[in-house]
Structure 1
Amino acid sequence: MSLRPWVVVESPDSRGLRRVTVGGETVGSAWSLGELRKILGRLGFPADVDLEDRSLICWRGGDSGTWPDRAWRRRAILVLMTVGLSAAMGLNAVVGWPDAAGALTFAQRVTGVLFVLSGLVQGAAALMALDHWGRRQFKVSGAVVLLGVLISLATDSLLLFMWLEETEYTPYLLVFLPLWCWSLWALVLLVREKSWAGVPQPKRFAAGVVATALLTAVSLAYSTMYQPSAAPMHFTLRAEFGTARADRVLPFVHVPLSLRMKNTGGIPVYILNDSYTVRGRGAKYSNFPSDEELLSEWRESVGKPGYPAGEADLHVSDLKKTTLSSGHLYGPGKWLEVGQEYYLERVFEVPKGARYDTVSVDVQVSYMRKDRGKLDVDEFSTAHPSWDEDEEHYCAWQVCGQHLVYQGRLRHNNNLINVTRKPRFVAAIWSPGLSPSSFISSRKFKGGSYKEVRRELDRYGAGRVRADAEVSVAELMRSSGL
């Protein structure tokens, strides 16, 4: 009769798994009698070996009937952990990749990279969950799973906090809200079983987790709060009239107009809307007007387009301004890099016998900081006539007037905001002779409330600059030789 090594079946651990040793060397572990027979079969024991033979098998902490493993519970926890960590990995990748690949600022790219790296850690944690709720061949598997759960709790809490600021519905809410609840459950479970116990130096592990969390928090705060507000924003705009020339055939005087704008700040900008309008001013003159006549004329001009509310002329009354020329300066949807300048020259005509005393030009430009968001310029730069019945925003011109509408999708340069808010749209309205308008809201082709529009304009760093110039018609005629 051949001698076989003595097999020892150790007592069940906290999960019901029993380690099997031969000659003091571990040869496997078993959840049940069936798994024990498979291990013995690999060692050369017959399939019908008598498990009660004390000369072959030594039972510790229980006999052959002591198998406390609850397989359904263990497998259910394993499935929930792997699914939760895999979903958290996907969410972090979706949130972080756009910023890591295309953010305009270094800090925002760092934030995106941190989210992507966090997703990779969660992917590794999902793999380690298979071992932690399995044979536990790696001592650090529990600690890695704990780290993945902590990352999920931190990122989902951040997303939930940002969502609570405005509580707008977004499809991502159906992902990060359940994940936040899942991460709380997973954290409680891992803390109860002290999953970090297998780490050789738990204090260093804890210090690494804290350092990672602080680095992420500082990067987020810098990219979303300090950096966008600290960068300077300056924009210069200038308008000048040139030397007029009389037409040789037609009864007109041709007046050159030079318009310049330059981004003198530290951030690139999108042009949301712009306009220049040239007006001729006619008026009645009086040598000795009364104060009441002056105030009356001032009251009538207040609020009218093209009339400064804080100006009144002593000898001038019955002001009347006529639009001579109007158009875009640069065009909605275009942008200016730092230090870039745009120059436009136009020529407009003034009739030789026109009863204008002065000619003025008013230039207005609305812009948005390019580091705050990304505008769909292909969509936004297309003009939509409001009177076109085939357009989505059609409105009878007798009711709404006649204007061009520009509209496009706007994405915040911090993708955390994109996933916790409704989509945002930029709309601009332009019509000859009227002040250009632009707004940002969550409603396509429609403006939101004043509070919402104001908040969104501030959030995306929108602003407006204006320049004007005025010249007397007498000077124009003199320079043209008339």
Structure 2
Amino acid sequence: MRRAGRGPSLGPMSIRPWVVVEAPDSRGLRTVVVGGERVGGVWSLPQLRRTLVRLGYPEDLDLDDPVAVQWRGGDSGTWPDRTRRRRATAALMTAGMLASMVLGVVIGWPDALGALTFAQRITGALFVLSAAVQGAAVVAGLDHWGKRQVKGSGAVVLLGVLIAFATDSLLLFVWADEREFTPFLLLFLPLWCWSVWALWLLVRERAWRGMRRPRTFAAGVVVTALLTAVSLAYSTMYQPAAAPMHFVLRAEFGAARADAVRPFVHVPLKLYVKNAGGIPVYVINNDYTVHGRTTAYSDGANRLEEWRRSLDERRAEDAERYVDGLNFTRISSGRPHRPGDWLDVGQEFTKEHVFQVPVDTDFDTISVVLQITYMRKDRGKLDVEEFRRPHRSWDRAEGRYYCRPEKCGEEFYYHGRVRHNNNLVNLTRKPRYVTAVWSPGGRPIYTISTFHFTGGVARSEEERDVARYGAATAYADVEVPVAELLRSAGADTG
């Protein structure tokens, strides 16, 4: 006979005990079974009594009576629970999982929302999804390190630890490529050590026990890891390489016009730039320069000496036999684009400019060189607002950008932070900055490096990190005889 609303009544005629206390597990938890049904787990004798009272048993139930309670794997005095150790393990496991979850969000969120390519957004979304799984593992860990009332909670914790181990290992692998100090190293290096410890602990106690299909679970983990690795490799290596860059640059001289008042000839110049590639780009630096060439002609008797001198003076670009003493004078210089602008795929730009040449000039030819230095937008994100602000090297008010004119001349500096479109790289590298330098009388240069301006430019770092961010320069040049320009101007003025 049972009492209404209470647990089973016990009497001397009971054939078997209603309450069974199982042997303690590896943590000291003892499972309580009533009437063949698991009703919970307890760490101590007082917890067992409270559990039975909650089920309707009398408070003064004799727990040592074999008719009432059957003890397996020890008696009522066998409670091997190490409370402090268990709670410390649970706290350390929870703290590590929470930190790993935050790290996953930090890695994936910027790429998931702002990456230029679809593959990079997928990679970022996978990291965010992995962080969500780790959030679930935090909740599951409270049960797994507690009374384990939910089947499969240990497997969820194991999955979260595997994600942390894979993520931290990937971060360490990327960091080891250059071994630069970054504040995030103080996070993912300890987290890697934590994940190794947590993985060892969970494998030792076979945390996957209780799952109906552990092989399916393992296969899912492997497939997820492979998808993440393939997506990451595609977004960082294959996709940028598979989208080549191509620019169309043209510079054309128009028909010259003689000035009606002054002894000058006005020469029209038309500049054309088009992004004919498959990727939008930032304009890092650009320049067009018009030069006039003067030459001391010779009869060509000393052929070898003329070849050598011509190559030296033209920097091995061209060689001419009947020239001696080449000299180039800068006539005009400017920039079609403002540094920090960008060119979308297929975007065109045209600039028309007029420069002047004296009628009695000594120039024999006039040439123009058009160049544009760009950075691929699928490789990095430039802080455009910061980069667009020009800093004058000769102005003391510019602070750290000031450089003595006798050392640097008169230059414009453009400087801004650049972030790689794969946030894994940002977390494992020092900050990178793009610096562009332009002056009317000098060669435009640029750097992509850790240099962050203390006056002057670290020119020795000019080529550093250029390939990683897809930076390059495209050129176009054209040269015409001055006689042709003067003839067109004379024909026009008749």
Q: Judging changes above 3 Å, is the alpha-carbon distance between structure 1 residues 14 and 399 closer, same or farther for their aligned structure 2 residues?
A: closer
TM-score, with normalisation over the residues of structure 2? 0.91
Shift of 1:158: 0.7
Asked if 1 retains the 8 angstrom alpha-carbon contact of 2:155 and 2:208, the reply is yes
Asked if 2 retains the 8 angstrom alpha-carbon contact of 1:4 and 1:56, the reply is no
Shift of 1:8: 3.2
Q: Distance in 2 between matches of 1:296 and 1:88?
A: 64
Task: Please state if 1:86 is matched with 2:98.
Answer: yes
Deviates more, 1:25-34 or 1:111-120: 25-34
Asked if 1 retains the 8 angstrom alpha-carbon contact of 2:307 and 2:321, the reply is no
Q: Percent of pairs identical after alignment?
A: 61
Shift of 1:398: 1.1
Q: Distance in 2 between matches of 1:88 and 1:175?
A: 9
Task: Please state if 1:474 is matched with 2:483.
Answer: yes
Q: Distance in 2 between matches of 1:288 and 1:146?
A: 83
Shift of 1:167: 0.7
Q: Judging changes above 3 Å, is the alpha-carbon distance between structure 1 residues 398 and 237 closer, same or farther for their aligned structure 2 residues?
A: same
Asked if 1 retains the 8 angstrom alpha-carbon contact of 2:447 and 2:464, the reply is no
Asked if 1 retains the 8 angstrom alpha-carbon contact of 2:447 and 2:459, the reply is no
Q: Judging changes above 3 Å, is the alpha-carbon distance between structure 1 residues 184 and 447 closer, same or farther for their aligned structure 2 residues?
A: farther
Shift of 1:449: 8.0
Deviates more, 1:139-148 or 1:440-449: 440-449
Q: Which of residues 455, 460, 463 in structure 1 aligns to 2:469?
A: 460
Letter in 2 for 1:66: T
Task: Please state if 1:355 is matched with 2:362.
Answer: yes
Partner of 2:19: 7
Shift of 1:295: 4.3
Shift of 1:55: 4.6
Q: Judging changes above 3 Å, is the alpha-carbon distance between structure 1 residues 447 and 218 closer, same or farther for their aligned structure 2 residues?
A: farther
Q: Distance in 2 between matches of 1:9 and 1:437?
A: 79
Q: Judging changes above 3 Å, is the alpha-carbon distance between structure 1 residues 292 and 219 closer, same or farther for their aligned structure 2 residues?
A: closer
Q: Judging changes above 3 Å, is the alpha-carbon distance between structure 1 residues 81 and 370 closer, same or farther for their aligned structure 2 residues?
A: same
Partner of 1:331: 338
Letter in 1 for 2:204: R
Partner of 2:448: 440
When the two chains are superposed, the root-mean-square deviation of aligned CA atoms in Å is: 2.1
Equivalences for residues 128-277 of structure 1 within 5 A:
128-277=140-289
Asked if 2 retains the 8 angstrom alpha-carbon contact of 1:280 and 1:357, the reply is yes
Shift of 1:59: 2.9
Q: Distance in 1 between matches of 2:74 and 2:474?
A: 84
Asked if 1 retains the 8 angstrom alpha-carbon contact of 2:253 and 2:269, the reply is yes
SS at match of 1:154: helix
Shift of 1:274: 0.8
Q: Judging changes above 3 Å, is the alpha-carbon distance between structure 1 residues 449 and 473 closer, same or farther for their aligned structure 2 residues?
A: closer
Asked if 1 retains the 8 angstrom alpha-carbon contact of 2:417 and 2:432, the reply is yes
Gaps of 5+ in 1: none
Task: Please state if 1:344 is matched with 2:367.
Answer: no
TM-score, with normalisation over the residues of structure 1? 0.93
Partner of 2:390: 383
Shift of 1:411: 0.5
Kindly provide the CA deviation profile for residues 270-304 of structure 1, in whole angstroms up to 9, marking residues without a partner as x. Answer: 111111111222233345654366247426x53xx
Q: Distance in 1 between matches of 2:84 and 2:239?
A: 51
Partner of 1:404: 412
Q: Distance in 2 between matches of 1:311 and 1:285?
A: 16
Q: Distance in 1 between matches of 2:50 and 2:323?
A: 108
Asked if 2 retains the 8 angstrom alpha-carbon contact of 1:447 and 1:453, the reply is no
Q: Which of residues 115, 118, 123 in structure 1 aligns to 2:130?
A: 118
Task: Please state if 1:313 is matched with 2:320.
Answer: yes
Partner of 1:415: 423
Shift of 1:11: 2.7
Letter in 1 for 2:437: I
Asked if 1 retains the 8 angstrom alpha-carbon contact of 2:310 and 2:326, the reply is no
Letter in 1 for 2:487: R
Q: Judging changes above 3 Å, is the alpha-carbon distance between structure 1 residues 49 and 393 closer, same or farther for their aligned structure 2 residues?
A: same
Deviates more, 1:362-371 or 1:411-420: 362-371
Q: Judging changes above 3 Å, is the alpha-carbon distance between structure 1 residues 59 and 363 closer, same or farther for their aligned structure 2 residues?
A: same
Aligned length: 476
Shift of 1:13: 2.6
SS at match of 1:440: strand
Asked if 2 retains the 8 angstrom alpha-carbon contact of 1:277 and 1:433, the reply is no
